[in-house]
Structure 1
Amino acid sequence: MNELSKDRVEQLLDCIMKNCLWQFHSRAWDRRRQNEEILKKTAQLLCGEEVDLSTPHDRCYHVDAYWLAEAYRKDYPWINAMSKDEIKALIKALHERLDFVTIDGSLNEELTDQKY
């Protein structure tokens, strides 16, 4: 990944870290699932694709994804000029970084406590 892409991932990550409470779920598997579903739906919204709303979980993730997509469009206008493939690659890199920061690289032992 080039420096511009890394910088953009960090900008998008900063938005999540400062504004989104869903990143603070108490268990690693919850965080991983939410990161995946919300960012998948965010990419679909940014790309103008149809978003699955068939389950209550899908609708819940959609609400967070909708807010995130709108914030990205407004606060990072460069995202509006990107192709669908570029957006998907950017969101994939963001997902990897978010999983690292909030799960895999976290020192929070509650995330893996079987009794919690």
Structure 2
Amino acid sequence: MEDLTKDRVEQLLNYIMKKCLWQFNSRAWDRRKQNAGILGQTAQLLCGETPVHETANDKCYWVDAVLLAREYRARFPWINELSHDEIKALIKALHERLDFLTIDGSLNEELTVQHY
């Protein structure tokens, strides 16, 4: 990953880590599902697309995605100058990094407890 992309991913990630409570779900599968739902819809919103809300979870993720997209546009003006392909690639890299930090690389053993 090039330095500029890494820097941008870290800026977006830093916002999530400091401002978004949804990252703290207690189960790994919940975190993985919500990260995909919220970041996927955030990418769509940033690209001017309309996310589909087929389930209650989709609607919940949409609310967080709207807020996240709004904050990203306001706090990181450079995101408004990216092409749709660049936005999608950036959000994909962000998603991979977030999944690693909050799930796959986490030392929190409660994330994998089968009885949740």
**Fold match by TM threshold 0.5:** yes
Q: Give the 4+ runs in structure 1 shifted more than 3 A.
A: none
For structure 2, list consecutive stretches of 5 or more residues without a partner in the other structure. Answer: none
Residue deviations 1:58-109 (CA, integer Å, cap 9, x gap): 1100000000000000000000000000000000000000000000000000
CA distance in 2, matches of 1:77, 1:15: 14
Deviation at 1:115?
A: 2.4
Residue deviations 1:40-75 (CA, integer Å, cap 9, x gap): 000000000111123211110000000000000000
Hey, what does 1:58 align to over in structure 2? Answer: 58
Map of 1:11-90 to 2, 5 A cutoff? 11-90=11-90
Residue deviations 1:11-43 (CA, integer Å, cap 9, x gap): 000000011111000000000000001000000
Hey, what does 2:105 align to over in structure 1? Answer: 105
Q: Name the TM-score, length of structure 2 as normaliser.
A: 0.98
